Amino acid sequence: MATTLTHRAASAPGPASRDNLLEQLLAKARPLVMGVLNVTPDSFFDGGRYLDPHAAVAHARRLAAESADIIDVGAQSTRPYGGAVRIAVEEERARLASVLSDVVAIGVPVSIDTLSAAIAAWALKLGAAIVNDVWGLQGDADMARVVAEHEAPVIIMHNRETADPAIDVVAEVTGFFRRSLDIAARAGIPRERIVLDPGIGFGKTAEQSLICIARLDAWRDLGVPLLVGASRKRFIHSVAPSEPMHRLGGSLAAHLLAVENGAAIVRVHDVAATAQALAVAAAIRRAR
């Protein structure tokens, strides 16, 4: 699956380019692949691998070469199973400062994965194009304002502090999304700049994560694209016991079925393998 994006010299995208970026990406009429770049010591799969700026930028270039449509850069671990250390904004900015401009210069749209509105605003000024908020505009009270002022697309992810096996997870996620969409509307963020993510593994049991992938159609009537990030996550272990480094097969299966069920974007650690799997699946569907 070859990317149609042209790698270009670094320049911070202006409001007009951000305003129609999501539309341009989705116009490719195929699932988009978001590649993960964690410049953290404690992310559940690749923590510590890309703390060195040279290693981080080299990995971003590799993601681009493997046909990533978006590169998702984060410096604050948001691992979904607890234990992630919340760092100060200054430390998060310092981790990003040594890599963000160079990653933007690669020419693939960059999303900033952060809990902090201050970091989101800073990253957008440096050329990041998208905000990926794992608390869906319901964490930092300034996040919706920052997104609106920069006219940036935003990924709204469902989250909750703890998993509750007794809840109806589809109803829970639906209610969260509706609250987030209301916050977005009041801040002036139009629907065409919003992506919804059910937050696989975040505040969910393994069974609830499986249900979210199986029931993606429940959120289609909200009228915005859906993203699924199932890469290497623990729910795979509940089906096929394995450590994160051995969960590629489960990740591919989850993302293929997520796309089958309506996901427009998948967030992955393994861009080349995912792009190949999606391309082959699409070819088989066409052969029908």
Give the span between the Cα atoms of 136 and 145, in whole angstroms: 13
Catalytic residue among 18, 93, 233, 247: 233
Catalytic residue chosen out of the listed positions 18, 204, 234, 267: 267
Residue 267 is a catalytic residue: yes
The residues annotated with a catalytic role in the active site are: 233, 267
